[in-house]
């Protein structure tokens, strides 16, 4: 089958429901029943929720498990360049024939009934996972947790909640406590839960939900600790201390994500070598990723080109800190954002590390802010800002000003995906 076949099916799936996001599990239970409940036939599941760090934490857990010789299924969203990235079967991205087959089956099982794109594609992932042997299944929540389409596993092996912060208020609630309640919806009776660093308001809610369910928690600051010391990562829990390499993923926030990943691997009774591999072998595209090949890199000439898909206030703070760790260099931002995001909250921390921002619209994305709107928000956040018609035009503008600049393309995973496609 050609790659186009799955694209055609995915386009058809977009028409089943008028809302892009509509949080309820009713439609999910219906299609899973029609598919004879693939969610009941999965390898042991590690379910991961949180506002920031889900993907990075999953990548580190997967690197550790694979170093232990385990076969690992993994589900993540959104994809960057192509849909196949969302579904990894026993360590490999799902093939085009396999993807087309499970999408076709889900279309047939659903009929003409309303269902969201995320729900029906999640059902397809679960169907694929149920048919191939593996030792573990890593499921990343799409949005929230309690009513997310992934929250259909009755008894996971482990749950993980990464740091919770303000995001998606229109769906999850206005306060940190309300959002934490939605994330804590993945907790299950009697199932151990690894909890990453949390604000007190979020932690209170998570602990209350865990107590109600009798879910033992292993929380940062209580049961495990992690810190950076002399360019090493130090992890400590009740079973001992680990002196590990720093994570391959850059930034202080990745130290916290690494701690959660190590805590998860320790819950699975895996050894120190596995934890080392989790630090050194994890790869996660568009998380402060250095681009080294492709047409955009050629346009940049002697300038450095980096890519990051973080898009909320916490991500902006983490990105500013991570940029501060790199060797000193004039830093310029190329930024495109969605109109659903807190643009000012994201950009304010970056004002201290960037000389200028060039705003672009996100190609082929209806919810993009215009380049002019993003530039105006950048100026309000204290950044010098201009606009460009495309990322390539923005790169050319910057290298004309500073040929040896560090250029960071940032603001949205949708922009990151467009850049990865453009850059081959």
Angstrom distance (rounded) from CA 422 to CA 394: 14
Choose which CATH entry (1.10.3210.10, 3.90.190.20, 3.20.20.10, 3.20.20.100) describes domain 289-422. 3.90.190.20
Q: CB under 8 Å to 26, separation ≥6 — which residues?
A: none
User: Stretch 56-65: mean pLDDT, rounded?
Assistant: 97
Q: Prior bond to 60 cis, omega within 30?
A: no
CA 113 to CA 17: how far, in whole Å?
8
Separation CA 384–CA 377 (nearest Å): 10
Sequence-ordered strand ranges (E) for 162-237:
193-195, 217-219, 224-229, 232-237
Q: Are strands 356-359 and 193-195 parallel, antiparallel or unpaired?
A: unpaired
Indicate left, alpha or beta for 214 from its phi (over 0: left) and psi (-120 to 50: alpha): left
Average pLDDT over residues 2-10: 76
Answer whether residue 325 shows pLDDT above 90. no
Q: Is the pLDDT of residue 168 over 70?
A: no
**For residue 313, what pLDDT band results from cuts at 50, 70 and 90?**
confident
> Where in the chain do CATH 3.40.1190.10 domains reside?
3-280
The DSSP call for residue 227 is E
User: 398-402: long-range contacts (C-beta < 8 A, 24 or more apart)?
Assistant: 398/303, 398/332, 398/334, 398/356, 398/358, 399/299, 399/300, 399/301, 399/302, 399/303, 401/332, 401/356, 402/303, 402/330, 402/332, 402/355
For residue 339, the model assigns a pLDDT of 92
Q: What is the mean pLDDT of residues 92-116?
A: 95
The strand pairing partners of 290, in sequence order, are: 306
In the predicted structure, residue 180 carries a pLDDT above the cut 80: yes
Residue 329 main-chain phi, psi, to 5 deg: -165, 145
pLDDT of 1 higher than 50: no
Task: Tell me the pairing of strands 232-237 and 240-245.
Answer: antiparallel
Neighbour-count burial of 335, counting CB atoms closer than 10 A to its CB (0-12 exposed, 13-18 middle, 19+ buried): buried
pLDDT at 174: 73
363 pLDDT band, cuts 50/70/90, is very high
Beta bridge mates, 220? 224
- CATH 3.90.190.20 placement within the chain: 289-422
| Separation between Cα atoms, residue 199 and residue 13, nearest integer Å | 38
Nearest-angstrom CA–CA distance, 247 and 249: 5
DSSP H helices, 111-175, are 117-130, 169-172
111-120, 210-219, 278-287, 340-349 — most confident range: 210-219
Q: How confident is the model at residue 4 (pLDDT cuts 50, 70, 90)?
A: low
The pLDDT score that the predictor gives to residue 127 is 98
Q: How confident is the model at residue 2 (pLDDT cuts 50, 70, 90)?
A: very low
Q: Which CATH class is domain 3-280?
A: alpha beta
**Is residue 423's pLDDT more than 90?**
no
- Answer yes or no: is pLDDT of 200 > 80: yes
Query: At 381, is the secondary structure helix, strand, or coil?
Result: coil
């Amino acid at each position: 089958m050609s790659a186009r076949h799955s694209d055609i099916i995915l386009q058809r799936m977009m028409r089943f429901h008028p809302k892009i996001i509509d949080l309820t599990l009713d439609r999910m239970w219906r299609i899973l029943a029609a598919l004879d409940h693939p969610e009941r036939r999965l390898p042991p599941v590690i379910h991961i929720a949180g506002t920031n760090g889900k993907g990075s934490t999953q990548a580190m857990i997967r690197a550790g498990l694979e170093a232990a010789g385990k076969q690992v299924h993994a589900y993540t969203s959104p994809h960057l360049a192509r849909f196949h990235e969302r579904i990894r079967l026993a360590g490999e991205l799902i093939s085009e024939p396999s993807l087309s087959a499970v999408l076709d089956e889900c279309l047939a099982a659903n009929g003409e009934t309303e269902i969201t794109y995320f729900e029906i594609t999640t059902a397809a992932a679960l169907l694929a996972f149920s048919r191939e042997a593996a030792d573990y299944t890593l499921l990343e929540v799409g949005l929230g947790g309690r009513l997310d389409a992934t929250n259909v596993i009755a008894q996971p092996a482990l749950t993980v909640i990464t740091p919770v912060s303000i995001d998606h208020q229109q769906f999850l609630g206005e306060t940190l406590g309300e959002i934490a309640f939605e994330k804590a919806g993945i907790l299950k009776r009697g199932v151990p839960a690894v909890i990453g660093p949390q604000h007190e308001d979020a932690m209170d809610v998570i602990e209350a939900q865990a107590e109600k369910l009798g879910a033992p928690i292993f929380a940062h600051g209580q049961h495990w600790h992690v810190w950076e010391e002399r360019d090493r990562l130090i992890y400590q829990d009740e079973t001992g201390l680990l002196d590990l390499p720093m994570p391959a993923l850059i930034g202080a926030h990745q130290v916290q994500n690494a701690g959660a990943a190590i805590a998860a691997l320790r819950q699975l009774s895996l050894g120190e070598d596995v934890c080392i591999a989790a630090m050194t072998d994890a790869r996660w595209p568009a998380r402060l990723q250095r681009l080294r090949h492709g047409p955009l890199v050629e346009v940049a000439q002697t300038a450095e080109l980096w890519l990051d898909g973080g898009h909320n206030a916490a991500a902006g703070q983490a990105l500013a800190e991570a940029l501060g760790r790199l060797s000193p260099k004039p830093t310029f931002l190329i930024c495109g954002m969605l109109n659903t995001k807190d643009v000012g909250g994201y950009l304010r921390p970056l004002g201290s590390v960037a000389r200028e921002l060039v705003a672009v619209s996100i190609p082929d994305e209806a919810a993009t802010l215009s380049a002019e709107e993003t530039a105006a928000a950048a100026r309000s956040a204290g950044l010098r800002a201009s606009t460009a018609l495309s990322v390539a035009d923005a790169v050319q503008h910057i290298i004309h000003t500073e040929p040896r600049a560090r250029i960071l393309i940032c603001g949205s995973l949708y922009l990151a995906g467009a850049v990865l496609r453009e850059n081959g």
